[in-house]
Structure 1
Amino acid sequence: MTHYLSTTAVNLSFTGMLNQGGPSPDSQHPGPLIHILDDYSLLYIFSLSRPSILDENEVDHDQVLEGGEWTRELWWYRLVQVCRRWRGIVFESASHLRLSLVCARGTPVVDMLAHSPPLPLIIDHLDLNYDITTEEEEGILLALQCRDRVRRIRLRKSVPILQKLVNALDGEFPILEYLYAMPQQYQRPLLDQNMSLNLPETFRAPHLRHLLLMRFAIPIGSPLLTTMGNLVTLSHNLIPHSAYFHPYALLQRLSLMPQLETLGIFFNSHFPSRDIERQLLRTRITTSVTLPNLQWLGFQGASAYLEALLSQVTIPLLETLQVYFFNQLTYSIPHLQQFISTAGNLRLEIATLSFLEDYVKMKAYPDKEAKMFALCVHLGGRHLDWQVASAARVFHTLGTIFSAVDHLTLESDRHVMSSEWNNEADRTQWRELLGSFVNVNTLSVGGELVGQLSHALQPGEGESPTELLPELHELHEPDRPEPPDEPGELSDSAMGAPSDVFSSFIDARQKAGHPVSLIHP
């Protein structure tokens, strides 16, 4: 083997065995303990040493979609350096051990292809902070020429380079299992929102199982999609206006993908709900689809589109739901409400509402230990009062699913406090929002929201102290921020409030026989 194997080698998972035998990794004569094992036993140990590419207990949802740590595919590089016998066992069982060569940043692809066995190839260029070199670009193009060997592809590059690399997918890739192609989101100059990418019309991958694209204009009737009955993951992100498709066409394609476990349809342009409603009236949807294996559903677009889709789809095993709505005046979502209420695996216990510059985000988790959310909802809008009012309407419409939430966090991360924005929400809006969380035991409030929440929690004339959040027992108050350097930089509500800001609410609950403890950091 050439030198690149030793420079990129990973540690053996059974280093202790090597240490007992005493040889160095480059030795041609293993120690006595290793020598007594037969070939079958060694192969069994080698197979157990193959690392997990994706540890779902340690990753977030982005890492799950990206497919994990592909550099772990280098696990066998050091094994073949131990001795000739080990090298022979590994290479003779290459298919059983699913060996691959990894073409990543810094890999001398030309040398690797010239001096390594003809193993399947993994092309992994997901670097966010590095520009691609001419040599690396040429290496990727060279690897893509080996169509019958390419097993996985993951590319995130600038639009011009990404399109050049994708253009090389101009034939059939018979063993390709995974294709991830997305432009760098924050490249300079900034991306044109209407810019789109294209896959070659001749591209075919009959055994593709994971397809993740961003800003690609792929017609819904493309042969690429009609021949993908093996797909387990389909994530089509920021679909440009030119590639918009009707919900009926999407349902037709989904009916051909019964193995799907993850589905994401995220439109880039805002199609007004009224336009979609008029379109749906002209084309009645009659196709009903059951996705028996789908566990993760993501959608971005207008509520009318999602309603049309959910009215005709059944997903019995759903565990994760993402819904990103564009800014809308109203939300008519009866099918979403029914869909969520009947999703038996969609459990919520911990929820966080984040009020950001352009939208409000709610993430809910099934329990305190979960790293993956069960429900994520984005509602567009810049003004805080609009965000609170929208969230109150939507969460109230979605019904009792939020009644299981035990721990609720409210936070704000609005970096730019423009004087043109309304950064105050009235008391009624806050109380309507909190009214959806009837069984919250613990409430945490971010500093910028303390002033508004303290006013909203205080019972008014004729209101019972336990009317809102009747099960609340702990209220977590943040540290008060440092005062601004310049007068008028932050409003009083943005700065937070003195430690006794919730005292009236605490006293009222105490007198009502439902005490609430104020917890400081």
Structure 2
Amino acid sequence: MTIDALPEDVIMRIFDFHVNDVPIYDRNDQHRMAKWRTLVHVCQRWRCLTFGSPRRLGLALEYTGKKPMEETMAVWPALPIAVIPPELVGTRATNIAEALDSNRERVSEIRLVDVPRSHWDRFVAVMESPFPRLTHLQFCDNRNSLSLSPVSPHFLGGSGPNLQRLELKNIAYPFSTIQKLLLTANNLVSLTLWHTPHAGYVSPESMVTCLSGMPRLDNLCLRFRPFGPYPSRPSPPPTRIIIPALTKISFKGPYEYLEDLVARIDIPRLRSLNINFFMDLMFDIPQLHHFISHTQQLRNLDHAELLFSDRSVSLQLIRRIPPSLSVVELALTISCRQSDWQLSSLARVCLSRLPPFSTLEHLMIVPDQSAPPQWKDDMESIQWLELLDPFPALKTLYLPEDVALRVGNACRTSLRKDQWKRCLH
């Protein structure tokens, strides 16, 4: 049997898998567009099937701004437009701004990265009006400059009912502006607020209010800038909001913020939790302990890697699930340059006895080869045992040579030296 003998609904399922074969937050939109363009050039039947199901396949015409839009779109059907310039310089920036302003009804995806200062105010003005078909928006400034004027309070007309993916990185805004948009974005699948400045600080209560109206949200990334002392913390509410579809969280900020956030939510399907805390010697995290204890997927992780670098220390715990070997993971990073502080701060977190620690059987401690840590000669060997003590079920422990010497010295005086002798490699 050839593929031409298959009924149309079977062929469309194959097409759908071919074009949309990864989660929405991992998709390379340009690669996806190249896939459907290949389909329409195979034969007339495939061309008709592809253009006959634009919504199912997520068809969109890529516009890069190299030429005026009317010169590049005339040969194609009136499909949605994905504005994805490789860079915003010279006439390309002008063409992109004009295309956005004159094609609001057709634009489905926008990727604006490093808008030139000379064009910034114009793009901010263009983004004030609604884009009714917009499903994907990436608005980023990798230059890490917050001196640019903030986005307008009327950003996207304050409405995004069709948005599926939203990423804002290093963009100044009052959170009230974005909150207004998020409260209408009930179809969001992926939300990234990266390096949110102090001016855009959002309270955990406000964030949970927004998340509670996103039943399809699968991926959440929140990254804050350091903003001084954490404000006073109200008592958590008696009940938690369930976020039903969320499977992946990435967080960077003060531990108090994450504590206040997870005290207000339950995420039954969570499979990946990536945490990056600002340096702190306290790390009082009972709410995180409770949260992980009630997240079934994160409770029985059995392999871990402890990675030290000159900027941070990271602990990653995983469990591979057969037969597909999909990965469940919990990653914890503490941003800190002093090696002795890395040990003491991570030990503080480990002493909280997070649920996966008690069942962990295999631990590997390695230095980051690209940015190796600067070990201090006067570091106490006992600090290593304090770090390892919360892992009572260890069967194998892999150490680099310099760490093995320190831990070995401490093991000789430890009350648990027989256990360490069995698991050390």
Structure with larger Rg: 1
State the TM-score, normalized to the length of structure 2: 0.83
What is the CA distance between 1:422 and its match in structure 2?
4.0
1:504-515 alignment runs, 5 A limit? none
1:256 aligns with 2:216: no
Q: What percent identity do the matched residue pairs reach?
A: 27
* Structure 2 counterpart of 1:153: 110
Q: 2:14 aligns with which of 48, 52, 55?
A: 48
SS of aligned partner of 2:250: strand
Q: Does 1:454 align with 2:405?
A: yes
Rate the CA distance shift 1:297–1:159 in 2: closer, same or farther, 3 A.
farther
8 Å CA contact 1:438, 1:468 repeated in 2: no
CA distance in 2, matches of 1:226, 1:287: 21
2:90 to 134, 138, 158: 134
**Relative to 1, partners in 2 of residues 1:453 and 1:108: Cα closer, same or farther, differing over 3 Å?**
farther
1:181 corresponds to 2:134? no
Distance 1:163 1:44, change over 3 A: farther
Q: Does 1:374 align with 2:334?
A: no
TM-score w.r.t. length of structure 1: 0.69
For the residues of structure 1 that align with 2:54 and 2:261, how far apart are their CA atoms?
Answer: 44
Which of 374, 380, 383 aligns to 1:426? It is 380
2:310 to 331, 353, 357: 357
> For 1:68 and 1:423, how far apart are their aligned partners in 2?
47
Superposed CA RMSD = 3.4
Q: In the alignment, what sits opposite 2:190?
A: 233
**C-alpha displacement of 1:333:** 0.7
What is the Cα deviation at residue 103 of structure 1? 2.6
1:41-90, Cα deviation, whole Å (9 max, x unpaired): 3574255234244546xxxxxxx734345422222324434555554454
- Measure, in 1, the Cα distance between the counterparts of 2:148 and 2:326: 34
Aligned equivalents of 1:106 and 1:466: distance in 2?
Answer: 69
CA–CA separation in structure 1 for the residues paired with 2:256 and 2:219: 22
Take 1:44 and 1:260, find their aligned partners in 2: how far apart are those partners?
29
Does the CA-based 8 Å contact 2:236-2:264 persist in structure 1? no
Instruction: Give the Cα–Cα distance (whole angstroms) in 1 for the partners of residues 125 and 382 of structure 2.
Output: 55
Identify which of 440, 444, 448 aligns with 2:394: 440
**CA–CA separation in structure 2 for the residues paired with 1:434 and 1:256:** 41
Tell me if 1:67 matches 2:15.
no
Q: Report the secondary structure of 2:417's partner residue.
A: coil
Shift of 1:394: 0.3
Q: One-letter code of the match for 1:300?
A: K
Residue 117 of structure 1 deviates from its aligned partner by 1.1
**Equivalent residue for 1:321, pick from 263, 270, 273:** 273
Please list the CA deviations of residues 444-491 of structure 1 after superposition, one character each: whole Å capped at 9, or x if unmatched. Answer: 334xxx223323134324645324375x27x2xxxxxxxxxxxxxxxx
Q: 1:95 to 1:343 in 2, by over 3 A?
A: closer
> Shift in Å at residue 97 of structure 1?
4.1
What SS is found at the alignment partner of 2:273? strand
Number of equivalent positions: 414
Tell whether the 8 Å contact from 2:305 to 2:316 is kept in structure 1 after alignment.
Answer: yes
Which of these residues, 142, 167, 190, is aligned with residue 212 of structure 1? 167
Shift of 1:411: 1.9
Sort the Cα spacing of 1:418 and 1:68 in 2 relative to 1 into closer, same or farther, 3 A.
closer
Pair 418,263 (structure 1): closer, same or farther in 2 beyond 3 Å: closer
Which residue in the other structure is 1:300 paired with?
A: 252
The verdict on how the C-alpha distance between 1:183 and 1:385 changes in structure 2, with shifts beyond 3 A counting, is: same
Quote the residue 1:413 is aligned against: 368
Give the AA of the match of 2:207: L
Given that residues 211 and 233 in structure 1 are in contact (C-alpha distance below 8 angstroms), is that contact kept between their aligned partners in structure 2? Answer: yes
Corresponding residue for 1:102? Answer: 62
Q: Secondary structure at the match of 2:391?
A: coil
Aligned 8 A contact 2:353 2:390 in 1: no
Distance 2:358 2:373 in 1: 35
SS of 2:351 mapped into structure 1: helix
Post-superposition offset of 1:384: 0.5
- Report if the CA contact (8 A) 2:160-2:182 is conserved: no
**For 1:195 and 1:372, how far apart are their aligned partners in 2?**
40
Counterpart for residue 331 of structure 1: 283
1:77 aligns with 2:77: no
**How big is the shift at 1:326?**
0.8
